[in-house]
Amino acid sequence: MSKSITSKTQDYSKWYNDIVVEADLADHSAVRGCMVIKPHGYAIWEKMQQALDKMFKDTGHVNAYFPLFIPKSFFSKEASHVEGFAKECAVVTHYRLKNDPNGGGIVVDETAKLEEELIVRPTSETIIWNTYKGWIQSYRDLPLLINQWANVVRWEMRTRLFLRTAEFLWQEGHTAHATAEEAVAETEQMLNVYADFVENWMAVPVIKGIKSANERFAGAIETYCIEALMQDGKALQCGTSHFLGQNFAKAFDVKFASKEGGQEFVWATSWGVSTRLMGALIMSHSDDNGLVIPPKLAPTQVVIVPIYKGDEGFKKVSETALQIVTKLKAKNITVKYDSRDTQRPGWKFAEYELKGIPIRVAIGERDLASGTVEIARRDTLAKETISINDIDNHIEKLLNDIQENLFAKALKRTQESTHNADSYDELKKLLDEKGGFVSAHWDGTKETEEKIKDETKATIRCIPLNNKLEDGKCIYSGKPSKQRVLFARAY
RNA sequence: CGGAGUAUAGCGUAGUCAGGUUAUCGCGCCACAUUUGGGAUGUGGAGGUCAAAAGUUCGAAUCUUUUUACUCCGACCA
């Protein structure tokens, strides 16, 4: 029985289990909530990685790798950080198994107990800052701009496929700076990198904002985030960038000699996105026919399906199809010619739609006679017949069109699902009837935020960065407020 | 951890209340034939410790008890 990601239009569990991931291991309690990412799903993740990695490097970052295990003592050095994560940590206590002396299977060897327990990283701030302490002595060592691609484990009470799995893949950037201004600039820069990626590669529009104190990362001074709206009207946090101040530097005693000769604590940031983005991709664009992948992230952008009768027909069609493959490859378009004779054309059409391949080309003997091919686009499911001569240019343009159309469609949906509320009743009514983002005045207190959350299940997603200031009254308490914030029910 | 539900072939299921031949049906899988422009059709075939254990009974998927797992809703979730 698979877990579901639901949308307005359908229950995605009907098909994503076949093509993207499965929760196979979920029937074993010890790996409950972990996902198996299948080749097609992983190929999409790899495309995301490549694009993000390039953006990180273009902004001066380098990759490194830190240990999976974190000694418990490291973990407890930053007070609010440990408080935030303590309840969801997997802990290694022993390092050996032995045969059960009472017969049967294998048991933990109690004599092999670790002196200090190891935490399976839920995030790597602590072990990284413990390492940075040895790497930073002078302002000449700064800034330190490092990213890590890794897996992390958070032992959530309740998991949800893609969105909150017990183990997930992500990248986490950890930077150290000489000044607060520089660290804040880095935090904002990386938020912009994320927004750029999610909007221009994933074709998912986002709202850039700042988290309320309540929703802030454990150990951060300020948490910046990007929030997107899914097809079912629920919000999804797609990425976060944290200004950590000097909290970790102080906890791990990371000081540097400044130009002026003094000893100062460094200023830090951390930022991350995860396989949750795959959930965002699915829930933003997919329809009842399956996945829809934006061309820039599609592992295969074009698939060619031959239609023929007999060996002779296959040879003739293949000859032309392979010419098209060559032309498209010359334009750096990824293309697959599916020449399998084990599946029928109709089966292939349905299969590639399920997988979200942006463009399908069908070519048969009928086309050979007329010098045409049939082209179908996944986003609109529209089909057209075009001349074979200009096919490479046509497809190149069509890929761009699809990318833009997906973003435009999602943007329109998000804008139409964003409303202002000027009273508490209006907020509740909008949440119940329309979902989406609701922009409303808030008095800035934790108490109000939590009461609204308890009563409506909606949280403050963010205080948008581009917010215009306006005087108003908090919809809950009636106290004065200077700006609206975004409320939504969220994943 | 609290509430509700579920467990039968790779997947989805009927049968359980009211015990009784060889456990139903669909998809998928295998073979052959005919097919191939939207998930083909026909014929034949393979695949099951009915979640586990104990009990009641001449006889248990079905009744009883215990256990386990999963799903949903809460709690939890920078």
Gap between the Cα atoms of A326 and A331, Å rounded: 9
Q: Rounded mean pLDDT of A12-27?
A: 60
Query: What pLDDT is recorded for position A53?
Result: 98
CA-wise closest residue to A462 among A206, A222, A211? A211
User: pLDDT of A145-191, one tens digit each?
Assistant: 999 999 998 887 777 777 888 888 999 999 999 999 999 999 999 99
Token pair recorded at residue A96: 């050996």
pLDDT above 50 (res A6): no
Q: How far is CA A214 from CA A146, A221, A273, in A?
A: 28, 12, 20
With H, G, I as helix, E, B as strand and everything else as coil, classify residue A469.
coil
CA-wise closest residue to A238 among A276, A292, A200? A276
Q: Rounded mean pLDDT of A280-304?
A: 93
Which nucleotides on chain B have any atom < 7 A from a protein Cβ? 1, 12, 35-40, 68-78
Q: Rounded mean pLDDT of A93-115?
A: 81
A213 touches strand B (CB under 7 A): no
- Other C-beta atoms closer than 10 Å to the C-beta of A253 total 11
Query: What pLDDT is recorded for position A457?
Result: 87
Q: Do residues A449 and A223 lie in contact, with contact meaning Cβ atoms separated by under 8 Å?
A: no
Query: What pLDDT is recorded for position A20?
Result: 74
**Which residues of chain A between 175 and 204 are close to nucleic strand B, CB under 7 A?**
none
Q: Do residues A70 and A122 lie in contact, with contact meaning Cβ atoms separated by under 8 Å?
A: no
Burial class (CB in 10 A: 0-12, 13-18, 19+), A470: exposed
Task: State the Rg of chain A over Cα.
Answer: 26
- HSE at residue A378, side-chain half, CA atoms within 13 A, is 32
Q: Do residues A419 and A434 lie in contact, with contact meaning Cβ atoms separated by under 8 Å?
A: yes
- Which nucleotide's C1' sits nearest to the alpha carbon of A17? B11
pLDDT above 80 (res A88): yes
In this prediction, what percent of chain A has a pLDDT beyond 70? 93
User: pLDDT of A234-259, one tens digit each?
Assistant: 899 999 999 999 999 999 999 999 99
What Å value separates CA A366 and C1' B44? 36
Query: What pLDDT is recorded for position A26?
Result: 45
Gap between the Cα atoms of A448 and A450, Å rounded: 5
**Confidence bin at A10 (pLDDT 50/70/90):** very low
Q: Do residues A195 and A54 lie in contact, with contact meaning Cβ atoms separated by under 8 Å?
A: no
Specify the pTM. Answer: 0.93
**Which residues of chain A between 248 and 287 are close to nucleic strand B, CB under 7 A?**
272, 274
Q: Do residues A439 and A484 lie in contact, with contact meaning Cβ atoms separated by under 8 Å?
A: yes
With H, G, I as helix, E, B as strand and everything else as coil, classify residue A49.
helix
Burial class (CB in 10 A: 0-12, 13-18, 19+), A425: exposed
User: pLDDT of A34-81, one tens digit each?
Assistant: 777 888 989 999 999 999 999 999 999 999 999 999 999 998 898 888
**Which residues of chain A between 294 and 313 are close to nucleic strand B, CB under 7 A?**
307-310
Gap between the Cα atoms of A487 and A440, Å rounded: 7
Q: Rounded mean pLDDT of A84-98?
A: 86
Q: Whole-angstrom distance between the N-terminal and C-terminal Cα of chain A? A: 21
In this prediction, what percent of chain A has a pLDDT beyond 90? 71
pLDDT above 90 (res A5): no
Q: Where is average pLDDT lowest: A135-144, A214-223, A374-383?
A: A214-223
What Å value separates CA A1 and C1' B15? 21
